Amino acid sequence: MEPVGFWGHLVEIAPYTGYVYPNETAIPWTVLIVVYPYLTGLVAGAFTVSSLYHVFGMERFKPVGQFALLTALAFMLFVPLPLLLHLGHAERAFNTMLTPHWTSAMAMFGMFASFYLLLLMLEIWFMFRPYAVRKAQQTSGFIGRLWHLASLGSDDLSAKAMRYDEKWIFALAVVGIPSAHGLHGYVGFIFGSLKSREWWSSDLMPVVFLFSAIISGVALLIVLYVLSCRLRKIPVDLACLKGLAYVLWGFAMFTLALEGLEFANIMYKGREGIEMIVQYVTGPLLVPFFILQFSLGAVIPITLLTYMIWRGTTGKALIAGVTVSALLVLFQVWMMRWNVVIGGQEIAKTGKGLLTYQMVLFHKEGLLTAIAVAIAPLFVLLAMVRVLPPWSAGAHAHQRSVS
């Protein structure tokens, strides 16, 4: 008889070595739970880039200012999906909203995420309201009525109305900074507060999650911006790209230092079961942690970015180097999420044994499902860009004015 999980779906019996509890033979949090913090990190990082332009008035980020907001919204729409698929009965998620438990960090996620999603949609509406009004004036028939509906009947494009919109955009962006970062920081808080897992119980976990989120979002925007310029057959704004490279470089170095400190902290705090942790670090974790996450995903892109900044690289070499670095950073953050979520469960709670996660391909929580959930926001983003082009003249009706 095949084993059945708590939510009614088949689970995998993980092979193990050493002593584990009888109820620990299955790893409950699968690859979908790896996708979940990865998506929230991309949202927080993309919003950070948008804030550099809309809040701090850094004009070099204007080419990606509106695009970053659309990217954050596209990925935010899919953030709850991995949890709902893992839950098995998606309708049960509403219980946390209807009967909230105020002491549960997980229960608070629904309200916090809903607030941030509403905030993000409001900022995008104020940002593209002039564009929607112009489209409603220029288009007739059913499409014109849709654009009029999108503008919510607000067709005032006077200077006073535009200043009013700018104030709302600025205020929403300011509130959105702690909201976006808190959205992802709470994920690290969930893991860091679980004392039952030796690999998770660290006070640095929320901070590491937050800064890795920023670099993943910046890296995603670099890749998407370069790709969009190629598709639109226009030159890449080198000033914008170099600015993104500086942001990625600075936060990547700081994130690497934090991850190193967190690793040292976990190893130093280990008392009971420290031998098993050492065995895990020097055995199953050697390739995914030290080689893939640290060496390939962190050290190489930081070295490459440092070399290009030192040499003053520009032109096609800058575009290629920054794009490759961004792709490696995206891979590094994915491996970090994998090593935290899956790696933390591969160490038995007893500290005396190791489990091995057996990932399947065709399953509700298998690899193909995880890939589909991870790339689905890109198709939604493509549709958003077609409807609300962030690079058109109409989309830039609001000009940042910093006193």
d(CA 8, CA 252): 41
- Centroid of chain to Cα 210: 10
- At 57 the pLDDT is 83
CA dist., res. 201 & res. 44, Å (int): 23
Residue listed under structure tokens 């995998």 = 12
The listed CATH number (1.20.1630.10, 3.20.20.70, 3.60.15.10, 1.10.3720.10) that belongs to domain 16-396: 1.20.1630.10
Alpha-helix runs per DSSP H in 294-354:
300-311, 315-346
Residue 283 has a CB neighbour count (10 Å cut-off) of 11
H/E segment holding residue 87: helix 81-87
Pick from 13, 20, 9, 29: nearest CA to 82: 29
Instruction: Give Cβ neighbours of residue 189 (< 8 Å, ≥ 6 apart).
Output: 105, 205, 206
Q: Are 340 and 10 in contact (CB under 8 A)?
A: no
Q: Which of 79, 106, 107 is nearest to 373 (CA)?
A: 79
What is the pLDDT at residue 67? 94
Q: What is the pLDDT of residue 354?
A: 78
Per-position DSSP letters for 20-31, written without gaps between them? --GGGSB--S-H
CB burial class (10 A; 0-12, 13-18, 19+) of residue 122?
middle
Rounded Cα–Cα distance for residues 379 and 385 (Å): 10
Predicted pLDDT of residue 401 = 42
Question: Which parts of the chain register pLDDT below 50?
Answer: 1-11, 393-394, 396, 400-403
Backbone angles phi, psi at 354, to 5 degrees: -125, 145
Q: What is the pLDDT of residue 361?
A: 83
Q: Which DSSP string do the residues of 40-66 spell out, in sequence order?
A: HHHHHHHHHHHHHHHTT--GGGHHHHH
The pTM (predicted TM-score) of the whole model is: 0.88
pLDDT at residue number 9: 44
pLDDT single digits (tens) 182-222: 877 788 888 877 777 777 877 788 888 889 999 999 999 99
Query: What are the residue ranges spanned by the domains of the chain?
Result: 16-396
- Give me the pLDDT at residue 283, please: 77
Q: Write the burial class of residue 394 (CB in 10 Å: 0-12 exposed, 13-18 middle, 19+ buried).
A: middle
The answer to whether residues 132 and 149 touch, using CB atoms and an 8 Å cutoff, is: no
Number of Cβ within 10 Å of residue 372's Cβ equals 12
Cβ atoms of 110 and 87 within 8 Å: the answer is: no
How far is the C-alpha of 332 from the C-alpha of 322, rounded, in Å? Answer: 15
